[in-house]
Amino acid sequence: MSPRKALELTDAVKEYAGTPPVRALDGVSLTIEQGELAAIVGPSGSGKSTMLHVMGTLDRPTSGRVSIDGQEVSSLGDRKLSAVRSQLIGFVFQQFFLIDGMTALDNVANGLLYAGVPKRTRRYSAAEALVSVGLGHRLTHQPNQLSGGERQRVAIARAIVHKPAIVLADEPTGNLDSTSSEAILELIHQLHRAGSTIVVITHDVDVANALPRQIAVRDGRIEHDVRRSDQPISRTATVGHDSVVTT
């Protein structure tokens, strides 16, 4: 049995209205297999965040298709899309976005809130997730009592607490010093080894090079898509413009 596709973009286009309109995604096709750890790398303004938003159903593509965990989502309404996000996707943001005045445990437990999980179960899973990111000793701390690296760990715990099909991280080390960045990258590797599917968006080539797969983006197109391993990249759609596959 072929591995299930965690995420698939097919000829995804995203155009922002304006004069002239901005084509932030220009026909991107891309598959993320289950259990993969991939970097999307590119300079500022290349369309990385736009791609993450489209992949994460936070925004709709102007045209093209998006499917997550085998489910086509581009035509779903707000309620169904929210359901997809509540159960299939975990987000990590550069600014952490922890809710102030709420303990680390409750921030992480919020990751299960909109899936309708009862409070006790939420807290139990949250404690587990915090332990798995190495913050078992910080359960009752508030965000303002945590270091930047610790905050990002809490945010990562929140992104994995509901065991999503895919974790999307937008510049997860963007606000951190180099030591904390390395620790966060190590955590990402560790989660990957444990089976998580993770896409990391970064403008930092060094960060990208540390990951098994690099998808380089420029001007809304995939410039190249490289895997460090020797296996060929399995692509279901090859419509992408300028997509170069090198080894």
Partner 1 sequence: MTTPTPAVSGRRLTPSRLRISDVFSVGSSGLRTRVTRTALSALGITIGIAAMVGVLGISESSRADLQAQIAALGTNLLTVTPSGGFGGGDGALPADAVATVSRVGPVERVADVVQLESAVLRNDLVNENETGGVTAMAADLDLLATLNGEVAVGSWLNEATAQTPTVVLGAVTAERLGIVEVSQGAMILIGGEWFTVIGVLEAFPLAADLDRGALIGKPIAEELFESDLSSSALYLRTNPDQIDAVRAVLGTTVDPQSPDEVSISRPSELLEAQDATESAFTNLFLGLGAVSLLVGGVGIANVMVIAVIERRNEIGLRRAMGATRAHIRHQFLTEALLLSALGGLAGVALGVAVTAGYAGTQGWDVVVPPLAMVGGLVSALVIGAIAGLYPAMRAARMAPTEALRAA
Q: Residue 1 or residue 17: which is nearer to partner 1 going by CB?
A: 1
Site residues for ligand ATP, 135-164, by CB under 6 A, read: none
62 part of the interface to partner 1, by CB under 8 A: no
> Taking Cα atoms as reference points, which of 243, 245, 196 lies closest to residue 219?
243
Q: Which of 48, 85, 138, 151 binds ligand ATP (CB under 6 A)?
A: 48
Site residues for partner 1, 175-234, by CB under 8 A, read: none
Sheet holding 22-33, edge to edge: 22-33, 5-16, 63-68, 71-72
Please tell me the distance from the alpha carbon of residue 41 to that of residue 202, in angstroms, as a whole number: 5
Q: Which of 10, 29, 31, 46 binds ligand ATP (CB under 6 A)?
A: 46
Q: x/- contact string, 33-52, with Mg ion (CB under 5 A)?
A: ----------------x---
Cα distances (angstroms) measured from residue 205 to each of 91, 155, 210, 238:
21, 23, 9, 25
Least distance CB 49 / Mg ion (angstroms): 3
Please tell me the distance from the alpha carbon of residue 72 to that of residue 126, in angstroms, as a whole number: 29
Two structure tokens written together for 201: 């968006």
Cis amide linkage into residue 164, ω under 30° from 0 = no
Two structure tokens written together for 110: 């919020």
For Mg ion, the binding residues (CB under 5 A) are: 49
For partner 1, the binding residues (CB under 8 A) are: 1-2, 4-5, 53, 56, 58-59, 65, 67-72, 75, 78-80, 82-89, 91, 93-95, 97, 99-102, 110-111, 113-116, 118-119, 158, 165
